[in-house]
Structure 1
């Protein structure tokens, strides 16, 4: 079940648990392996059991449906919805960081992380850490971090599964995965293919993915290994509609020939070792990606190819010790990244690259064990070097930006089962290469965005129920956003006047009995300008309120799961002055799944948007630029585990 991780344990107990079962080891907020009870203060955890019971087929859906994170329909027909922590609208993906087994997936592009390529059967847990986290994760971690932890096969164990699914809109999926561990060595592999015509015309999507890796280990901590991940996507691009077209037929397309593709390959080498009482770890990752698109204007095709490469190297060290009998964890590390991209199109021959180097230090003290006290502080310094040149547009710039982040966190249990926690800090993000290539001032990169973050929370937990409430505020300066009024030729990416995100979050769950459980998530956020010509105006594409709830039942060889989500109305994407004669309407969706097991087989029937609600979560102009969301879809699946 979902659980806010607010409990600290003694280090000796942590290491004893690790020695008993290496499969419980996870990467925590300190970017090191630890027992799950040492997860970040105030984090929300999605377990593998919850993922299986809900029957979600990809990581993105698990974060939305189980974790209660608001998501917007993807523009390209893929299952990689745009995830939005704390109301950052169209730039939500650039204001949070996605990490898989400690390796950053968020990059210097205006693209969502491709989470659909991560085999869902390989996921052990998902940590959702809301709020500023730039000290450990750097650029873009203002709204929070989503850390995905994959399974590690235990010693002398094996597992495997075959999954097949079919449904409406010509949807189909096949996944085969397996893992084997021996004495000191483990390997796993997964391959899958999925396709769907989707709800709209000219919105077909196909993807083939492969993931595999191996690791060598001497004990519960010392290990080294590698992992390769590859994905191949082909998609048809349905484009947007205006309000009249949407009301007449939300399934139609005005761009019947537009299409695109994405090929991605990633290789990661990792290792960690305990040396002279210090834990030393490092990750080295290389990613190559090719994105192609073809759009038709007046019957004439316009094609573009983007080839990008990225290197990441993250060495770090941790010292666990004691100060006056209190447990102390000191973490220090470096993050190095190099990203480069070439563009080949009739309108652009741009070469862009970005290098960054960072150093960070974080210390956490665990005191008063009877009240499970924790306090931590951290700082980070990161320097970015950007270069851009496009001879076709006579454009070029060379920019350097140096940024600082800091944080203070604490949690304490003043009463049995009641925990109070809080956080103060400063976070930042820099403009992506896409944003810097189209700015109000020709050949001038945008200023870095900075945010002062504050959060206060209260949690109550016992064996049957858990409730966590948080209030938060992010005061942003130079927020990076697309402003349709920034120039007379259709807008530009710009630094906005000062803005703010503030609100309230509530997570609740109740174990009714051995068979029944319910959980719910509520978020209220006010996103608005706090200075300038739009002072007091609401930010666009941010619903004030979102609510999601799930009811689960588990019986003898059976399970059922029903979920509902309500999303409040929101401003259209261009309505900075709040003068559009209307807002995007609110909507409610319902999904459900029933599964029955027969030995090693599990058969399931699932449905999305069961009421067949017509709605949309993406609209970029006043009553226009609408991307309709999917209608009702039923699917039947079978899974064989061995």
Structure 2
């Protein structure tokens, strides 16, 4: 009888009329403006509502729980995490994804992953993920795709605070005002954690602190002109532990552990970043517009443990001409980025000056310029030989979209030359490459609710400046030699269907690569180096479905199947041909069930699962230990009434152990215990 009553209640709930309807969202971050149904790319869009409902502590957590992107703390550092998408691997996948915030590129000229912790979730309007696309607009590194983050500029005002286990505490705010002439917004966040894991023998914990804030102003003096400016900063102070052996991980992943690399010392890093921006938009006529934006950013990374300091400076400016009619859209622009890294004296420094300079010159049809200048100055030590390394890039690009009836065709092209020079007392070496990026896409609207698309992209990733140097087991740093840029050809075919109660997206892809960049970790520690995989390929299927069963039940599913295969590669006598790329899980599942318990109360249950994989350094697929499957069940509850809401969330409800395997007995524990937060949000 009880079962019949429950089934009856469930059936009646599902049959309740819909009060929420799904619709195609406009894509705001790409050169050509269109919506999800007419896009020629596989794309995911997540709004501020999606982010706030997830009650995440940072953007990495949202990406890892809700999207097709995989995020893992970089060698234990939770504030700088590695990213992976479409099978490029948790080791180097982040270098194949371009990440932008309001158009400003976050990728670094060295091997430091983009710092997404500096962006408060409260400030985000939406996240747009373009898979296997974006090479024409974003250039170097868009082999897997692009993650574009757009911040809010609306009139909402809110304050949020929460506390949690292990001394977790957070306070954030967003204050906005918008009218016909003036738009101004300010946001900020302060976060701290006392830590979970022991990182030394005297009871020290992996504690962390974060402060970040931003201010943006936009003024419209005339209907044709918009002026804008902004500033932001972040201050990060984090301590994190090293690796541990497998028996230590199985016994207690919160212990200090035995570092596989000969030291049990924790890492203590302080990271500061300050950025300012200014820009304008001018509507020249009804079809032609001009956008100009400039950014300046200064960053300092201070590894206190190792007395290692690096200063970064980035200057960028972007000018875009956009021509649009009902049938034709063309976008071309001017894009400048100057990047510099100054590495100060440490015991492992090599005296050298390394620069990465990109210059995109205008093709006759594009009216575009793209400049990137990067410099690293490393000072003299007893191990060093004075040398100078430079990288110069010259490119041009154009993007267009033509629509006729139910058909849309996108075409874009980018040409780039890359020149490297290395000089020391005994060498004067030069190397150069001519690279091009291309995108060609087609979309057919089957009906007002569904469409098919086909997309081809040729992309590339030029080596970062760290790839030219190696450090042997004695600590001596040497010039590695110039390595080749990687080149990728990808084909994606997909189907989209968006109706009032269901948003379904399916896509299948194949990516063929030449010279995929990786680090060969020699088991004997004598011949490790940065190099290239001669040939490799990846293929997979992406499924996204958001289904509103009723006004009380909804479910969202993200499933990704991927195979990443090394076709041809030999290194130091080892043949990797036919092996799987390490750090790639074949199956990636994220599912969220939302239930409206009462008029004001919502409960959400999220399950994240990734199948096991080969350890990050296991290119031979022969290590005795593999990357364990990743599992986490999270539950949250929200009570929302009028202008306030109470929320609570439990992460890793069943206390699952998770870790990042680098090699045998070299494991970084990740999300390995249950944590919880509870808080209050007020809107006014």
Say yes or no: does 1:353 pair with 2:328: no
Which among 435, 439, 445 is matched to residue 467 of structure 2?
435
Distance 1:284 1:486 in 2: 46
- Choose from 323, 347, 362 the match for 2:399: 362
Is it true that 1:316 corresponds to 2:325 in the alignment?
Answer: no
* 1:380 lines up with 2:377 in the alignment: no
Residue 232 of structure 2 corresponds to which residue in structure 1?
Answer: 229
Deviation at 1:262, TM superposition (A): 0.6
Q: Which residue of 2 aligns with 1:597?
A: 640
Instruction: Give, in angstroms, the shift of residue 508 of structure 1.
Output: 1.2
What corresponds to 2:434 in structure 1? Answer: 402
Tell me the equivalent position of 1:518.
555
CA deviations on 1:160-183 (whole Å, 9 max, x unpaired) are 221111111111111122122344
Structure 1 SS opposite 2:534? coil
Q: Secondary structure at the match of 1:116?
A: coil
Alpha-carbon separation, structure 2, partners of 1:637 and 1:468: 34
In structure 2, the partner of 1:243 is: 246
Mark the CA change 1:313 to 1:229 in structure 2 (over 3 Å): closer, same or farther.
same
2:36 and 2:224 mapped to 1: Cα distance?
A: 15
Determine helix, strand or coil for the equivalent of 1:438.
strand
Q: Which residue of 1 aligns with 2:391?
A: none
2-structure distance, mates of 1:389, 1:190: 46
What is residue 494 of structure 1 aligned with on the other side?
531
**Distance in 1, Cα, partners of 2:81 & 2:94:** 10
How far apart in 1 are the matches of 2:424 and 2:276? 30
CA distance, structure 1, for counterparts of residue 654 and residue 61 of structure 2? 19
Cα distance in 1, alignment partners of residues 431 and 215 from structure 2: 38
Q: How far apart, CA to CA, are the structure 2 residues paired with 1:54 and 1:483?
A: 38
Residue 584 of structure 1 pairs with residue 586 of structure 2: no
Q: 1:478 to 1:340 in 2, by over 3 A?
A: same
For the residue of structure 2 that corresponds to 1:147, the secondary structure is: strand
User: How far apart, in 1, do the equivalents of 2:502 and 2:658 lie?
Assistant: 34
Farther-moved stretch of structure 1 (352-361 vs 381-390): 381-390
Provide the residue aligned with 2:336 in structure 1: 336
**In structure 1, C-alpha distance between the alignment counterparts of 2:429 and 2:588, rounded to whole Å:** 41
Q: What residue in structure 2 maps to residue 620 of structure 1?
A: 662
Q: Matched residues in 2 for 1:350 and 1:31: separation?
A: 42
- Kindly indicate whether the alpha-carbon contact (under 8 Å) linking 1:397 and 1:445 is maintained by their aligned counterparts in 2: no
Task: For residue 418 of structure 1, report the CA deviation from its aligned partner.
Answer: 2.9
SS at match of 2:78: coil
Superposition map of 1:452-471 within 5 A: 452-471=489-508
State the TM-score, normalizing by the size of structure 1: 0.88
**Structure showing greater Rg:** 2
For residue 515 of structure 2, what is the aligned residue in structure 1?
A: 478
Give the stretch that moved more between structures: 240-249 or 59-68: 59-68
- RMSD over aligned Cα, in angstroms? 2.6
Q: How far is 1:453 from its partner? A: 1.0
CA deviation after TM superposition for structure 1 residue 406, in Å: 0.5
Q: What residue number does 1:173 align with? A: 170
Q: 1:307 is matched with which residue?
A: 311
Alignment partners' CA distance in 2, 1:537 and 1:404? 29
CA distance in structure 2 between the aligned counterparts of 1:242 and 1:389, rounded to whole angstroms: 42
Quote the Cα distance in structure 1 between the aligned partners of 2:424 and 2:673.
42
- Give the Å deviation of 1:244: 2.1
Q: Which residue of 1 is the match for residue 31 of structure 2?
A: 30
Structure 1 unaligned residues grouped into runs of 5+? 8-24, 296-301
**Superposed displacement of residue 363, structure 1:** 1.0
Change over 3 Å in CA distance of 1:401–1:169 after alignment to 2 = farther
SS of the residue corresponding to residue 60 of structure 1 reads helix
TM-score, normalized by length of structure 2? Answer: 0.83
The number of aligned residues is 603
Q: Does 1:284 align with 2:294?
A: yes
For residues 180 and 448 of structure 2, what CA distance do their matches in structure 1 show? 43
Give the equivalent residue in structure 2 for 1:199: 196
Hey, what does 1:631 align to over in structure 2? 673
Q: 1:396 to 1:547 in 2, by over 3 A?
A: farther
Q: Which residue of 2 aligns with 1:17?
A: none
Unaligned runs of 5+ in 2: 1-19, 200-205, 258-263, 361-395, 473-477, 570-574
The aligned counterpart of 1:299 is: none
Corresponding residue number in structure 1 for 2:100 = 99
